Structure 1
Amino acid sequence: MEGGEGAEGSSTFGRNWEELARDALILIFLKLGTMEVLRAAGSVCRSWRKVATEEPVLWRKINMIDEIYGPYGDVVFDPFLVIDPVKSARLAIDRSGGQLEEFAAAYFVNDDLLRYLCDRTNALKKLVLISNTNLSAEAISETAKRQPLLEEIEILEGPFSKKLTEIVGTACPRLKSFKLNNTFYDDEEAVILNDDEALGIAKTMHQLRHLELIGNRLTNEGLTAILDGCPHLETLDISSCFDVKMDDDMDARCARLKTVRSDYLSDSDGFDNDYGCEFDPAFFDVGDRDDW
């Protein structure tokens, strides 16, 4: 009996992970992140690498934010591996086999990478771009034109021009969620513009359900146009939009929305208002992690 129990324990300890069923490996890999599969799981053995490189279903959602960057946007230091995020992104895009639906990346995206993505898929539904200083507004415009199935777009601290919202809205009629937060502009005149972005949204994004314009220069006129032009809107975040004044008329217009965030709303209004100066980890949030 003791020999039998020892043999059984030895067999369990020495399990050959290479013999795991392909379907089981796919389920395991889907629980891992993009970089974990690229640099770790796909290198365990030949069978694991075969699954990692030959199953496009694993690469329909590419999220290169959480695993490369920490909660404060800092690069996660790995002394054993030199990370080339652009090269890694291209490899992941290639492995998607034209089935890529969601792409999220921070800091390293440039015009060439977006063109590379568009050359290899036209099925994108979600695009998240955070603090990409080497990215141009023209590249975002071209991406929108080549990805008409886009339903969610988030641009945080990125390039934007006064005509881009109209271009994006026209090119992506299915757009349901649009986040344009704390953007920087290509020209000095942009700082004095107010409602150009808002009017572009109102004119073209009629199916919009969720909108964030944190730090935007829109006024009550632009917000009124959005509320009139986006009849399906449910949530609105206009924190740090200091040219918007929430008077009685605007309160009444916003009453139909499920959630409104604005620095000018008080708790007594029944709206969500948690504006403050302390760092909020949600600043780098790209959405519900269960969606990735």
Structure 2
Amino acid sequence: MEGGDGREDSSTCGRNWAMLARDVLIVIFLKLGTMEVLRAAGSVCRSWRKVATEEPVLWRRIRMINHGYFGSDAFKLVEPARIAIDRSGGQLEWFAAANFADDNLLQYLCDRTSVLKKLGLTSLGQLSAAALTETAKRQPLLEEIQITFGPFSKKLTEILGTACSHLKSFKLNHTRYNMPPPDPDNEEEISNDDEALGIAKSMHQLRHLELIGNRLTNEGLTAILDGCPHLETLDIRQCFNVDIYDDGLYARCVRLKTFWFDYPDDEFDHDIDSDFDVGDD
């Protein structure tokens, strides 16, 4: 901390800490989370703040989830997210946000980087499918997209796949406790293969796919297996319209390196946030 005369306060930032080499500080900061650097490490003393604000390498990966803000309070993170994006100096490659990302923030991100490789967004009632589509079109290097509890439209997967020719990992997840119950009189709502068919049509380079809580049927799953020949891992837990033992699907799926599925009466304990690994290799 600095006193009124601009000198560093030795009681909060001793000489040894303040004199740490820049390379050492960078290594330390990279082991901290985005919010820890923004709120704490970058405020310890002048030398630490200089590194936190002037080293874009620290901000190539911005991960703002499990941050302790919920509901309307989550939107207090919009401004810190903008600060972090600015500090990346156009080098931002990975961005993950939970509960607060909206259309304006995605536009802000796209205006400041075009080299994004991984994007993870969760709890997206405030974010439109149009904003996701525009982001995909402006980030041609995207390799991984994870959307949880998000806005789903019939053509969204096809649009994302067409815009992101390098896409290797795609996660489009619901869970049982947050999905609206289907209308029993609306067969299309009970089972819908539009998202699966969009994936099969446009994401031919996929290696990893999660569709937890999706309403695809055997037709959609077959199309994915046919259209994504490089698929290595597949997670279709809570996809209760799929009869995995019909049409020879089980034999095809178990040939993959990793395959998950379940049935309506199975115990299911999937913490989306714990799998929100956009910040990890």
TM bin (shorter chain): 0.7 to 0.9
Amino acid at match of 2:267: G
The 1-side partners of 2:150 and 2:126 are apart by 9
Once the two structures are superposed, residues 163-214 of structure 1 have per-residue CA deviations (whole angstroms, 9 ceiling, x without a partner) of 01000000001111100011879xx987356111101100110110110111
1:290 CA drift (Å)? 4.4
The 2-side partners of 1:215 and 1:182 are apart by 5
Work out the percentage of aligned pairs sharing the same amino acid.
Answer: 70
Q: Output aligned runs, 1:7-18, within 5 Å.
A: 15-18=15-18
Question: Which of 76, 80, 84 is residue 88 of structure 1 equivalent to?
Answer: 80
Question: Which of 114, 129, 133 is residue 125 of structure 2 equivalent to?
Answer: 133
1:66 CA drift (Å)? 2.9
What's the C-alpha RMSD, in Å, of the aligned pairs? 2.6
Question: Which of 267, 273, 277 is residue 276 of structure 1 equivalent to?
Answer: 267
Give 5+ residue unaligned stretches, structure 2.
1-12
Residue 8 of structure 1 is matched in structure 2 by none
> Would you say 1:102 and 2:94 are equivalent positions?
yes
SS of structure 1 residue aligned to 2:214 = coil
> Would you say 1:178 and 2:176 are equivalent positions?
no
SS of structure 1 residue aligned to 2:161 = helix
Segment of structure 1 superposing worse, 40-49 or 112-121: 40-49
- Higher RCO (C-alpha under 8 Å, 6+ residues apart): 2
The 2-side partners of 1:205 and 1:64 are apart by 27
Q: Closer, same or farther in 2 for the Cα pair 1:175/1:281, shift >3 Å? A: same
Residue 31 of structure 1 is matched in structure 2 by 31
Aligned 8 A contact 1:128 1:153 in 2: yes
Q: Closer, same or farther in 2 for the Cα pair 1:136/1:17, shift >3 Å? A: same
Residue 221 of structure 1 is matched in structure 2 by 219
The 2-side partners of 1:154 and 1:232 are apart by 19
SS of structure 2 residue aligned to 1:159 = coil
Q: Output aligned runs, 1:224-235, within 5 Å.
A: 224-235=222-233
Residue 66 of structure 2 is matched in structure 1 by 66
> Would you say 1:161 and 2:153 are equivalent positions?
yes
> Would you say 1:211 and 2:202 are equivalent positions?
no
Q: Closer, same or farther in 2 for the Cα pair 1:164/1:96, shift >3 Å? A: same
Amino acid at match of 1:263: D
Residue 285 of structure 1 is matched in structure 2 by 275
Aligned 8 A contact 1:126 1:150 in 2: yes
Residue 9 of structure 1 is matched in structure 2 by none
Amino acid at match of 1:259: T
Amino acid at match of 1:287: D
Aligned 8 A contact 2:99 2:124 in 1: yes
TM-score (norm 1): 0.82
The 1-side partners of 2:75 and 2:140 are apart by 32
Once the two structures are superposed, residues 216-243 of structure 1 have per-residue CA deviations (whole angstroms, 9 ceiling, x without a partner) of 1111111001001100101111111111
SS of structure 2 residue aligned to 1:38 = helix
Amino acid at match of 1:90: R
Aligned 8 A contact 2:191 2:241 in 1: no
Residue 235 of structure 2 is matched in structure 1 by 237
SS of structure 2 residue aligned to 1:100 = coil
Q: Output aligned runs, 1:240-255, within 5 Å.
A: 240-248=238-246, 249-255=248-254
The 2-side partners of 1:236 and 1:109 are apart by 27
> Would you say 1:112 and 2:104 are equivalent positions?
yes
Once the two structures are superposed, residues 80-133 of structure 1 have per-residue CA deviations (whole angstroms, 9 ceiling, x without a partner) of xx9820001000000000000000011111100000000000111111101121
Residue 4 of structure 1 is matched in structure 2 by none
The 1-side partners of 2:87 and 2:266 are apart by 41
Once the two structures are superposed, residues 54-90 of structure 1 have per-residue CA deviations (whole angstroms, 9 ceiling, x without a partner) of 1000000000003345xxxx58x9xxxx982000100
Name which one, 1 or 2, has greater alpha-carbon Rg.
Answer: 1
Once the two structures are superposed, residues 241-266 of structure 1 have per-residue CA deviations (whole angstroms, 9 ceiling, x without a partner) of 1111012511122132111111149x
